[in-house]
């Protein structure tokens, strides 16, 4: 009855069960964290703003991004992926979301940061609707866990406007 095979099987099954329960508990414990992140984004300069040969507007800008996301980190957090997207509506599109900058925060110690950067990804419209366009800058974050469920949230910052003329 109690052969080597039976014992090995019992130990393996028990180990896997405990491991699964611990993964579940670690992921579940994330729900008890109520983060209080802060963020602010300033547009320091519109470097250039033009219509491309194919008719789409493109703008290049310099951004000042500061945030404190340290409250997002729990013991089950592997990293936080953070990005700033420009969000606006046009007559053609109900929603345009264009990611301008992103970064990976590997640890809580790096979660409070201030970055001075030009847009990392090209800010191109579908069409030519950007002159004088009002838009939001939204800081999104996606919490990537060591195991289990992923969480995401955002802070919307309103009241940004592009220039009336190309430059």
Partner 1 sequence: MGFVGDTVESIRSMQIRQVLTQIISLGMIVTSALIIWKGLIVVTGSESPVVVVLSGSMEPGFKRGDILFLHMSKDPIRTGEIVVFNVDGREIPIVHRVIKVHERQDTKEVDILTKGDNNFGDDRLLYAHGQLWLQQHHIMGRAVGYLPYVGWVTIIMTEKPFIKYLLIGALGLLVITSKE
Query: Of 59, 40, 67, nearest to 124 (Cα)?
Result: 59
Dihedral, 44, 48, 50, 54 alpha carbons, nearest 10? -110
Q: Based on the shown chain and the rule CB under 8 A, indicate whether residue 118 belongs to the binding site for partner 1.
A: no
Q: Based on the shown chain and the rule CB under 8 A, indicate whether residue 99 belongs to the binding site for partner 1.
A: yes
Per-residue tokens: 112: 């409070």
Piece of 34-42, 44-52, 89-97, 155-163 that binds partner 1 (CB under 8 A)? 89-97
Query: Of 139, 140, 76, 70, nearest to 105 (Cα)?
Result: 70
Q: Based on the shown chain and the rule CB under 8 A, indicate whether residue 161 belongs to the binding site for partner 1.
A: no
- The residues facing 79 across adjacent strands are 144
**In which residue are the tokens 């579908």 written?**
126
Compute the least distance from the CB of residue 147 to partner 1, in Å: 6
Q: Based on the shown chain and the rule CB under 8 A, indicate whether residue 8 belongs to the binding site for partner 1.
A: no
Which residue in the set 97, 118, 128, 158 belongs to the binding site for partner 1 (CB under 8 A)?
Answer: 97
Positions touching partner 1 (CB under 8 A) are 23, 27, 78-79, 81, 83, 85, 91-99, 102, 104, 106, 121, 126, 140, 142, 144-150, 152
């Amino acid at each position: 009855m109690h052969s080597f095979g039976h014992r090995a099987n019992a130990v393996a099954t028990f180990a896997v069960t405990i491991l699964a329960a611990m993964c579940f508990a670690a992921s579940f414990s994330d729900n008890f964290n109520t983060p209080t992140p802060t963020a602010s984004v300033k547009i320091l300069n519109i470097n250039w703003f033009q219509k491309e040969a194919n008719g789409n507007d493109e703008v290049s800008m310099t951004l000042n991004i500061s945030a404190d996301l340290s409250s997002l980190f729990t013991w089950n957090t592997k990293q936080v992926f953070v990005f700033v997207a420009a969000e606006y509506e046009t007559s053609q599109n109900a929603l345009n979301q264009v990611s301008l900058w992103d970064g990976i925060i590997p640890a809580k110690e790096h979660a409070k940061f201030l970055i001075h950067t030009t847009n990392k990804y090209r800010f191109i419209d579908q069409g030519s609707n950007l002159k004088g366009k009002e838009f939001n800058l939204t800081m999104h974050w996606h919490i990537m866990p060591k195991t289990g469920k992923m969480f995401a949230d955002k802070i919307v910052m309103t009241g940004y406007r592009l220039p009336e003329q190309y430059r």
